[in-house]
Amino acid sequence: MKNWQALLLIVVAYIAMHVASILMQIPFALYFMKDTTLSDLDIQFHTVAWSLFTANLIAAIVFYILIRRRKNFFKVFKGKTASFGMTILWGIIGFILALVGQMVAGMIEMVAFGTEPGSDNTNLLGEIAQTAPIIIISIVLFAPLLEEIVFRRAIFGGIYTKTNFFIAAIISAFLFAIVHGELEHTLVYMGPAFAFSFIYYKTNRILAPIIGHLLMNAFVVIVQLNQDKIEEWQNLQQSLIMFFQ
């Protein structure tokens, strides 16, 4: 099997994973409905969390089978491959760039298009995580791993070999945004995606964008799960400012 065929199968497996996660909701829903202590909303949250986790796990195994025997599969660009230490450093830099890119994109959306800040998907995943923590593994581990292989190696890397960095980065970032299903926040998703493409290009290691993506998703999960504490801290700060004024 040639590399382009493996890349195509990876994309197909990724699409199949999303379809499977929806189909799996039926048996999982029937299973959780047997627990009379769960509310209807809890059943929905557990169903979504476990179906997504299971589909992600299967997809990760399929990706491994497709990739394991392919030497230099992730080495797409010319030049040396970054050391492990530099790869970690670039992963951290990618996390910072992704946050900055997301904030700038959010401001552009708000000023230019009047789009309200905040993501319904992120808020929903935060609510699900409080009820079914298993989804945290999907968000923090599987999403960075699978999405970077698909969008950075398969799509960005594949297009790069036929065009150039900017065309490949823009197309892969746009598709990354579309898949997340919030068209009003297309720029917000494209910002981090572009940053992850950049650090993949700089390091020639897929591990760098995976680390950056993982750190970003972990940061978002921590913020979502501690929203109440953050609001309390903000209220305390405001009270102290008013007191000293």
pLDDT in tens, the chain (245 residues): 677 788 999 999 999 999 999 999 999 999 999 999 999 999 999 999 999 999 999 999 999 999 998 888 999 999 899 999 999 999 999 999 999 999 999 999 999 888 888 888 888 999 999 999 999 999 999 999 999 999 999 999 999 999 999 999 999 999 999 999 899 999 999 999 999 999 999 999 999 999 999 999 999 999 888 877 666 665 655 665 555 55
Query: What's this model's pTM, rounded to 2 decimal places?
Result: 0.91
Q: Please report the pLDDT score of residue 232 as a whole number.
A: 61
- Residue 171 phi/psi, 5-degree rounding, is -65, -45
Helix (H, G, I), strand (E, B) or coil at 165: helix
Q: Where are the alpha helices (DSSP H) in the chain?
A: 3-23, 25-32, 40-67, 84-108, 120-131, 135-137, 143-147, 158-160, 165-179, 186-203, 207-225, 227-244
Q: Which of 18, 109, 116, 180 is catalytic?
A: 180
Q: State how far the Cα of 201 lies from the Cα of 243, in Å rounded to an integer.
A: 51
Q: Write the DSSP symbol of residue 120.
A: H
Q: Please report the pLDDT score of residue 131 as a whole number.
A: 94
Q: Which of 46, 109, 147, 185 is catalytic?
A: 147
Are 139 and 126 within 8 A, CB to CB? no
Is 180 annotated as catalytic? yes
Q: Please report the pLDDT score of residue 115 as a whole number.
A: 86
- Return all residues near 47 (Cβ < 8 A) that are at least 6 apart: 25, 28, 29, 32
